[in-house]
Amino acid sequence: MTADAQEETLRFLASLDGGDEIVSTHISRVVLGRTRAFKLKRAVAFPYLDFSTPGKRLTMCEREVALNRRTAPALYLGARRVTREADGALALDGAGELVDAIVEMRRFDDGALLESFAARGALSAQIIEQLGRKIAAFHDEAEIIREGGGSEAMRRIVLLNEKSLRDFPPAPPGDIEAHNARLGALVQTHGPLLDARHARGKTRRCHGDLTLRNICVVDGAPTPFDCIEFSDELAAIDVLYDLAFLLMDLHRVGESGLANLALNRYLDWRDECDGLGLLPLFMSLRATIRAHIGAAQNKPIEARRYFDLARELARDGAPRLIAIGGYSGSGKSSVAAALAPLIGAAPGARTLSSDRLRKRLHGAEPTRCLPKEAYAREVSARVYEEMMIEAGRVARAGWPVVVDAVFDRVSSRAEIERIAREAGAPFFGFWLDVDLSARIARVETRRDDPSDATPEVLLAQMKGETGAIGWRRIDAARGLDAVVAEIVGAIG
């Protein structure tokens, strides 16, 4: 089909639903109507895709609908055939000859894209928490890919990027060669881990393009759409490499705190802590891809920003175990959440909260209030045991972890310090001091919070024997920023 023939198809599509706008990319054109959008694949062939015939485009449209309905069933209405009828007119799903194919979608406003949310400063913790959980659930159900994967697959991706950076350079040759060498070294270092994760089923048929441009809010819920349908190689990837595109993009738009939140809410639902050390490689690769694409599209400023980001992200994390203790109402979870993005390599530390772990152990939503028996001594002992185990696993994976719990017993403080020593991670312990009246006021005003502590619980804590607290004591009655700054300064 010629470009002129596809222009005829576009005019036909524009007549169906009052389409008055066409959005173009290098592989598709989308006609935006009043209530629907019609996505037409360009009649092109590249090394990584072939849309050169109507039949091939129909196959890819059907595949696109099937794959995207995994995450966005309300958006994808179906694949439609464009046919030439006996009178020479075009029709949808007619009896005539197939001349093209489209994906029909429910239209949404451009303001619903998370990219637009970020531009107007409207990205919220609630949206990102929902998104982290949704991606985790999607990865749970995604097809496991046994062929390919592992270190060899990542080497191929790095080599492809090396060639693309040379063909479309976003920076001087010396900088590009140094960056390519860095990515190659990271793959070499992490080769055994990449292979081990592949063997454990971590390579799955993922989304493949989880940028803020490909996630929208539909019916109040963050909804990934427009996944990669044309290349199994680009979409059959480690689940953390899939997540890394979102983390990189949040970091790009200056939302490093939300990037850390997305990672932690994802990890609350999927046990991927062994792969945390891969995030510098994965996130840097995602930024590298955007850098050479920007250069190829003659967007030099954008390309250079992505390249600089890729170099920044390619630094290794370092294990640290930071414990935040204090009575209920002292602000432990708030301090841990604000501190985590500032620790180590992007997107920052894993946070482990005894309150969230308790809810998870009971199969409850984080903000659901648990019955009194969920706080029995033996249950709390199990919560602390799980918290210690996971903290040790994160530290042994070479990644920083911030643990927040009351830590009012000598034994629990000694245990978390032992976990750090055995993991070979530097340990930093902090105890937050706030007077009783302020803590009671904080507890009484909590809403939709993982903590179920009441003033009665708080008073009961005060009756216990803490022993000598050797951790650095912090006056947490000050503002959150001041508390976090003091802790960062103490960690160095």
What are the pLDDT tens digits along the chain (492 aa)?
555 679 999 999 999 998 778 998 888 999 999 999 999 999 998 878 899 999 999 999 999 999 999 999 999 999 999 999 999 999 999 999 999 999 999 999 889 999 999 999 999 999 999 999 999 999 999 999 999 999 999 999 999 999 999 999 999 999 999 999 999 999 999 999 999 999 999 999 999 999 999 999 999 999 999 999 998 889 999 999 999 999 999 999 999 999 999 999 999 999 999 999 999 999 999 999 999 999 998 999 999 999 999 999 999 889 999 999 998 888 999 999 999 999 999 999 999 998 898 888 888 888 888 887 877 788 888 989 999 999 999 999 999 999 999 999 999 999 999 999 999 999 999 999 988 777 766 666 777 777 766 666 666 666 667 889 999 999 999 889 999 999 999 998
pLDDT at 456: 67
At residue 458, the pLDDT reads 62
pLDDT value of position 36: 96
Select the CATH number that applies to the domain covering 114-313 from these four: 3.90.1200.10, 3.90.1300.10, 3.40.50.920, 3.40.50.1220: 3.90.1200.10
Report the pLDDT value the prediction gives residue 47, as an integer from 0 to 100.
77
Concatenated DSSP letters for 300-333? HHHHHHHHHHHHHHTSPP---EEEEE-STTS-HH
Three-class SS state of 217: strand
pLDDT value for 270 = 95
- The CATH number assigned to the domain with range 3-107 reads 3.30.200
320: tokens are 């640290």
- Evaluated on CA atoms 42, 46, 52, 54, the torsion sign reads negative
Strand stretches in 230-354, DSSP E: 236-238, 321-325, 350-353
Give the separation between CA 458 and CA 220, rounded to whole angstroms: 36
Q: Which pLDDT belongs to residue 85?
A: 96
The shares of helix, strand and coil residues in the chain, as percent rounded to the nearest 5, are: 50, 15, 30
Query: Kindly report the CA angle at 167 between 163 and 172, in degrees rounded to 5?
Result: 100
Spatial CB neighbours of 170, under 8 Å, sequence gap ≥ 6: 176, 291, 292, 294, 295, 300, 303, 304, 306, 307
Identify any residues that bridge with 222 across adjacent strands, giving them in sequence order: 217
d(CA 112, CA 118): 11
Using DSSP's 3-state secondary structure scheme, residue 126 falls into helix
3-state SS assignment for residue 81: strand
Chain mean position to CA 364: 23
Domain 321-491 indexed as CATH 3.40.50.300: yes
Whole-model pTM: value is: 0.93
Are 331 and 483 spatial neighbours (Cβ–Cβ below 8 Å)? Answer: yes
In one letter, which amino acid is 44?
Answer: V
- Other CB atoms within 10 A of residue 254 CB: 11
The torsion angles phi and psi of 96, rounded to 5 degrees, stand at -85, -170
Residue-range domain boundaries for the chain: 3-107, 114-313, 321-491
